[in-house]
Amino acid sequence: MPTVATDELRELYDKYAPRIRTLARYTLGSRAAADDVVQTVFLKASQSLATFRGQAAPGTWLWRIAVNQCNDELRRRKRTDRVEVPLDAILGWADDAATPEQRHGVKEIDEIVARALLELSPKLRTVVVLRYVDEMPYDEIAAILGCSIGTVSSRLARALTKLEQTLRPIIRS
């Protein structure tokens, strides 16, 4: 059975840490919390190297740990407050060549979309981030979340419907 060596774990860190940080920041709404999740994910991964059975790809294994860690953090918080995360900070949408007016317009749109995304349940938000931010295929998302491709498709459809309902009045104005 394949195992993940320490050097491979370092390679996985280099490859996945920024993407896991994005997922965590988006899910938890805090840069500090996202950094904590990344540290915890790779600490757990290093501690469980001996028990990694190789039934999934190492990247899928890390994503699963990350999603579980984010969900654990949300359960611990049982928070009712929502933290806004500007999408341009996550996705890098801000264009340095844009005029101040253009950047302001993009920032306003980002804030509106970020608020709408934060209104989604963590399950729906996670699927949206994995699909549209990390551009993962449905089968990889399903493997990470431990669900079927149909469930991924259903969650995406529900998330997009909710986002459309939230954003439609804003877009028309």
> What is the per-residue pLDDT across 61-77, written as a single tens digit (0 to 9) for each?
899 999 999 988 888 87
Higher pLDDT, 50 or 143: 143
Q: Which CATH number fits domain 1-82: 3.40.50.150, 1.10.1740.10, 3.40.605.10, 3.40.1110.10?
A: 1.10.1740.10
- What pLDDT, on the 0 to 100 scale, is given for residue 21? 93
Query: Side-chain half-sphere of 95: how many Cα atoms within 13 Å?
Result: 8
Residue-wise pLDDT for 115-142, tens only, equals 888 889 989 999 998 998 888 999 999 9
Which pLDDT score is estimated for 1?
Answer: 40
Q: Is the pTM of this model over 0.75?
A: no
- At 1-58, the pLDDT tens digits run 444 567 878 888 999 999 999 889 888 878 888 999 999 999 999 888 777 777 778 8
Residue 157 has which token pair? 């459809």
Tell me the angle at which helices 58-77 and 138-145 cross, rounded to the nearest 10 degrees.
Answer: 60
86 vs 51 pLDDT, higher one? 51
